[in-house]
Chain A
Amino acid sequence: MSMILSSLIIVPLVGAIIALLMGGTREKLSKYVAIAFSAATLVIAVLLLLGIFGDFEDLGESFEWIHNSSFIMNYALEVDGLSILMVFLTALLVLLVNVFSLDEHRENNNYFYALIMAMEVGLMGVYLAADYFLFYIMWEVTLIPMYFMISWYGGPRRHYSAIKFFIYTHVASLVMLIGIFVMGYESVAPGDPVNFLFSAVKAGIGIAPIEIQALVFALLFFGFMVKMPSVPFHTWLPDAHTEAPTEGSVLLAGVMLKMGSYGIIRICIEAMPDAAFHWQWVIIAIALVSIIYGAYGCIAQTDLKKMVAFSSISHMGMVMLGIGCLSDAGITFAVFQMFAHGLITAMLFMVCGMTGHKVGTREIPLLGGLAGRMPIYATFMMIAFMASLGLPGLVGFWGEFPVIMAFYEFILENDVVWMLLFCMLSLMLTAGYYLWAMQRTLFGPETKKIDLSKAHDVGHYEFAVLLVLSILVAFFGVWPDGALQFLEPYVDNLIAGMVI
């Protein structure tokens, strides 16, 4: 049995342990350990993506882990078109974050890098797991490093934000756990041991009564929705982002939020398509509210990072909207939007986080005319903002525009064309808050409210990281097929499995 997929979990795990043990005098070296191990993980992920290791179907791993008269739980990993993109994104962002942090020095470096690597372990586990028990464990594993990341290295209100993040998402995952229980038991005959393998549960739950499916769908959906997050369960996100260190924010927004939407597609839609149609309108409504509310929230923010956090809510709403269409195009581009948002939001948080370090504040009203003093920084900020508002030619366009197309198709079918107004509103608002924020921070006369004499432009490592991200943003902007080719077979399969 090949161990390629396990290596994606084991390599960062080893990295985390080594980094953790490098206390004292070797503390300074821990960052290189983290970089080396995350680079190795990225190499494996890229080789996997390019198909060097063979077809995805042949790479699955599975062995029985816990087996007694009530449960069968497996250590099962699988990869397909959906997870490979997320795996690649995770490996990429973790490496970039590690490199990005080189320009900054902090106390207890070794813990910091151990936390980042531990998070990678959990994330990889979530995206590769093919067993509900493993999936849930990995889901929770991502939580603890992030809690410590915020509460050790965060801003002034870090304690409050960290505990809020922890409890909010933990409650959500517990609700999800109940969903998993019900799903597991409904998938087998009474008295038989529950097999938590994805494929086993899927086969069983698919034939359960629709009421049960709808209930399970709702429980799981709630868990995922809080993670995404969707209005009205989004309030942990702005706090967590504002207080988290830049590296934490990048991983949180870049890949951890995607766990939510990944779960919806992988578990809710894949296993219970009938229930998905049952809840379709609810999903659409939540998505639209998130999009609009997130965008309105952005306009009101004065903190750059908080603004980006609210924009994440809006953009993840777009993902949800794509999923809610339950059509080929909708789901394909929803996943693409996840990928695109991962790249863009990483850039956004890096630039906004830098503002705090370089200038001393992230408050938009205090800033102004930074472009003159920090031209490179300003350029990257513009690229990120433009990509995020969906400028054609950059990756964000392919995430947003086709989703709206798919939604248009959906509303035509259902004869509710007026709902297109929401999309227009969201596009206008998005363009509005980004351009306005940009105009207030970068252009105009240089601000007199704060001392800019110490402000300096981006560091070498930061420059390299942002450059890589910009290139990727442009690359997938002109050649979205690079990512879409993986998705098509997966989504075709998924749609074929939905009996309408």
Chain B
Amino acid sequence: MISDIVVNIFDDLTPLATMIILAIGALSFPAVQMFIKKHTVTWAYALILVVLAFATNLVLLMDEVECEYLGVYLSPYSTFMALLFLTVLFLVVLVSNSSTETTKNHSGAYYSLLFGATIGMVFVTTSIDLLTIFVGVELTSISSYALVALKRKDGRASEAAVKYAIIGGMSTALTLYGISMVYGVAGSTELTEIAQYVATMTDTPWILAIGVICMLAGYGFKIAAVPFHMWAPDVYEGAATPVSIFLATASKKMGLGVFIQVFLVMFIGTTVTGTIFGETFQYIFAIIAAITMTVGNVVAIAQTNIKRMLAYSSIAQAGYILIMMAVMTPNAEAAGLFHMFTHVFMKGGAFLIVGALICAGVGEKISDYKGLAKRAPVLAFAMMLFLFSLAGIPPLAGFTSKFFLFASAVGVPGEASGAWVWLAFVAILNSAISLYYYARVVKAMYIEKGECTEKIKIPVPFMVAIAICVVFVIVLGVYPDLVYGFAETAVGII
């Protein structure tokens, strides 16, 4: 097995392998930048490390390695999620050097922060304890605040960073408060023990309920679930586009990962015993999911700035993914994980195009996209693919993953059969609404005539990154088993 190579190199530290590679980068970038002073070198170095980490992780995922070291628990689930984060990191790093938005003066710090945030994410997925999860989330969050603020000359970025930090801080406090209450009741911060307590308790202590709700709210901020979503559009709009990609695709998936790890594990026992506690939370999740997708989609219609529109669409997509928390069947979880994965490529791709166009001097308004099909036919076509994929038009990836996700809500076996059909209905209605604002951008690009007709040239790295996204949006659409198989194994672990 290829994974033996990794295991031989890292020995006991195998669970940490990916993180070690990333940490090497995070710690050395400032030094490299200081001594070599060439942005391209730092960039190439970062790229190599990402590829290395990616390869290591892929090998571990392929062979379904499971091992544990000092409470860091490596499983197909964690490697699956890490694959997702590293894919995003790769795309972001790839375009960072050619983007005009990212800072040039602090590229060492910039890459350090990116890598640091990714370490936090990977760390979260390998955690089985509330406190380590908390630490990972904080590592990611604090790095993200700084990343947003790095676009220093832009007032919007500063405002966004402040907003992000304050709201983030509040959510942190809430989470910690929740954790302490849960600990007080269950007597442990380890997830399996809490789950055991929840499954065997005779009545529901109200303090546990409050604790869980506090945690729900705290992590709800991370995934921008309504009503904790206010920060997202401002931050995505204010941050440099590569950072927006990172936040919208990776950071949010970490939050969803936490949802799976914490709440699913906590309540899975109750779905077996049928305690009212777990069921109540299933309904809470269902309501949050329904409201999140509806608010995201409806508000997106009114947006004129494409980054804001994509931000609201991200909120809506998080709503779709939350269906898995309500349904809580293995199928739904696998479909949710798969949708997270396809979302990386379609939303990432759309943001990449926005970023590329900003570099080429095109504005962020949807009206600036008029006549784009004439100016950049390939880009416009790619954008159309991404948007249609987000809207769920076959045979693109977004359709297939939504198909799996909504199908899983309809096909719940056993007693709860049919309980979530309404949720699938809401989701499908939302898909229809979302088509309107996606189609509006397509209309602007293809049908309306723009004032400017000169051709657009965009940097090569952007072209490559977009091409990767296009390929995956199509491939995962027609051949989902490529990733879906991994998602199923990952769910099997939980």
Query: Does B associate with A?
Result: yes
Which residues of chain A have a CB within 8 Å of any CB of chain B? 65-71, 133, 136-137, 140-141, 143-144, 147-148, 151-152, 159, 163, 166-167, 170-171, 174-175, 177-178, 181-182, 184-185, 190-191, 194
Is B205's beta carbon under 8 Å from chain A? no
B196-252 CB contacts (< 8 Å) to partner A = none
Considering the complex, give the chain A residue whose CB is closest to the CB of B332. Answer: A70
Residues of B within 8 A of A67 (CB): 481
Minimum C-beta distance from A196 to chain B (A): 10
Residues of A within 8 A of B108 (CB): none
Residues of A within 8 A of B408 (CB): 70
- Among candidates A133, A147, A167, residue contacting B432 with C-beta atoms closer than 8 Å: A167
Given contacts A144-B388, A191-B413, contact A163 B439 (CB under 8 A): yes
Most A CB within 10 A of own CB, among B335, B403, B478: B403
Please, could you name 17 A-B residue pairs with CB atoms under 8 Å apart, sorted by A?
A65-B478, A68-B481, A68-B488, A69-B331, A70-B335, A70-B488, A141-B395, A151-B447, A152-B447, A170-B435, A171-B432, A174-B431, A177-B403, A177-B406, A178-B406, A178-B421, A185-B411
Bound: A252/B481 CA distance, A: 35
| Complex contact B331–A70 (CB within 8 A) | yes
Residues of A within 8 A of B404 (CB): 70-71
Residues of B within 8 A of A147 (CB): 439
| Complex contact A167–B424 (CB within 8 A) | no
Given contacts A136-B394, A178-B421, contact A66 B480 (CB under 8 A): yes
Bound: A177/B404 CA distance, A: 11
| Complex contact B406–A181 (CB within 8 A) | yes
Is B267's beta carbon under 8 Å from chain A? no
| Complex contact A178–B410 (CB within 8 A) | yes
Bound: A140/B447 CA distance, A: 21
Minimum C-beta distance from A55 to chain B (A): 31
B415-456 CB contacts (< 8 Å) to partner A = 417, 421, 424-425, 428-429, 431-432, 435-436, 439, 443, 446-447
Considering the complex, give the chain B residue whose CB is closest to the CB of A177. Answer: B428
- Among candidates B334, B435, B439, residue contacting A70 with C-beta atoms closer than 8 Å: B334
Bound: A181/B335 CA distance, A: 14
Total chain B interface residues with beta-carbon distance under 8 A:
38
| Complex contact A69–B488 (CB within 8 A) | yes
Given contacts A163-B436, A184-B407, contact A190 B394 (CB under 8 A): no
Most A CB within 10 A of own CB, among B407, B421, B424: B407
Given contacts A67-B481, A144-B393, A177-B403, contact A194 B432 (CB under 8 A): no
Residues of B within 8 A of A181 (CB): 406-407, 410-411, 424
Residues of A within 8 A of B432 (CB): 167, 170-171, 174
Bound: A182/B424 CA distance, A: 11
Minimum C-beta distance from A187 to chain B (A): 10
Minimum C-beta distance from A455 to chain B (A): 31
Residues of B within 8 A of A166 (CB): 435, 439
Minimum C-beta distance from B321 to chain A (A): 17
Residues of B within 8 A of A184 (CB): 407, 411
Interface string of B452-464 (1 = CB under 8 A from A): 0000000000000
Bound: A302/B432 CA distance, A: 33
Bound: A141/B399 CA distance, A: 12
B373-419 CB contacts (< 8 Å) to partner A = 388, 393-395, 399, 403-404, 406-408, 410-411, 413-414, 417
Minimum C-beta distance from A23 to chain B (A): 9
Bound: A68/B483 CA distance, A: 11
Minimum C-beta distance from B264 to chain A (A): 17
Residues of B within 8 A of A178 (CB): 406, 410, 421, 424-425, 428
| Complex contact A190–B413 (CB within 8 A) | yes
Given contacts A141-B394, A178-B428, contact A159 B443 (CB under 8 A): yes
Apart from A65-B478, A171-B429, A194-B411, list 8 A-B contacts with CB within 8 A.
A67-B481, A70-B334, A70-B407, A136-B394, A147-B439, A163-B436, A181-B424, A185-B407
Is B484's beta carbon under 8 Å from chain A? yes
Residues of A within 8 A of B488 (CB): 68-70
Bound: A136/B447 CA distance, A: 27
- Among candidates B331, B425, B443, residue contacting A151 with C-beta atoms closer than 8 Å: B443
Minimum C-beta distance from A19 to chain B (A): 15
Considering the complex, give the chain A residue whose CB is closest to the CB of B431. Answer: A174
Bound: A167/B428 CA distance, A: 12
Is B187's beta carbon under 8 Å from chain A? no
Bound: A69/B407 CA distance, A: 13
Residues of B within 8 A of A190 (CB): 413-414, 417
Bound: A159/B447 CA distance, A: 9
- Sorted from nearest, which 9 A-B pairs have the closest CB atoms? A190-B413, A185-B411, A137-B394, A181-B410, A171-B432, A174-B428, A70-B331, A181-B407, A140-B394
Bound: A67/B488 CA distance, A: 12
Is B479's beta carbon under 8 Å from chain A? yes
B329-351 CB contacts (< 8 Å) to partner A = 331, 334-335
Residues of B within 8 A of A171 (CB): 429, 432
Minimum C-beta distance from B374 to chain A (A): 10
Considering the complex, give the chain A residue whose CB is closest to the CB of B338. Answer: A68
Minimum C-beta distance from B406 to chain A (A): 7
| Complex contact A163–B443 (CB within 8 A) | yes
Given contacts A68-B481, A69-B488, contact A182 B421 (CB under 8 A): yes
Bound: A174/B394 CA distance, A: 12
Minimum C-beta distance from A205 to chain B (A): 13
Residues of A within 8 A of B421 (CB): 178, 182
| Complex contact A167–B436 (CB within 8 A) | yes
Bound: A191/B417 CA distance, A: 11
Residues of A within 8 A of B407 (CB): 70-71, 181, 184-185, 194
Most B CB within 10 A of own CB, among A143, A147, A163, A177: A177
Is B184's beta carbon under 8 Å from chain A? no
Bound: A174/B411 CA distance, A: 16
Is B71's beta carbon under 8 Å from chain A? no
Residues of B within 8 A of A70 (CB): 331, 334-335, 404, 407-408, 411, 488
Bound: A140/B398 CA distance, A: 14
Bound: A278/B76 CA distance, A: 49
Residues of B within 8 A of A141 (CB): 394-395
Minimum C-beta distance from A495 to chain B (A): 31
Minimum C-beta distance from A270 to chain B (A): 22
Residues of B within 8 A of A163 (CB): 436, 439, 443
Bound: A133/B410 CA distance, A: 16
Residues of A within 8 A of B274 (CB): none
Residues of A within 8 A of B484 (CB): 66, 68
Residues of A within 8 A of B435 (CB): 166-167, 170
Minimum C-beta distance from A71 to chain B (A): 7
Residues of B within 8 A of A144 (CB): 388, 393
| Complex contact B395–A137 (CB within 8 A) | yes
Residues of A within 8 A of B479 (CB): 65-66
Minimum C-beta distance from A191 to chain B (A): 5
Bound: A177/B335 CA distance, A: 16
Minimum C-beta distance from A179 to chain B (A): 10
| Complex contact A182–B447 (CB within 8 A) | no
Considering the complex, give the chain A residue whose CB is closest to the CB of B400. Answer: A66
Minimum C-beta distance from B335 to chain A (A): 8
Is B361's beta carbon under 8 Å from chain A? no
Is B155's beta carbon under 8 Å from chain A? no
Minimum C-beta distance from A407 to chain B (A): 35
Residues of B within 8 A of A66 (CB): 479-481, 484
Residues of A within 8 A of B394 (CB): 136-137, 140-141
Residues of A within 8 A of B417 (CB): 190
Considering the complex, give the chain A residue whose CB is closest to the CB of B392. Answer: A174
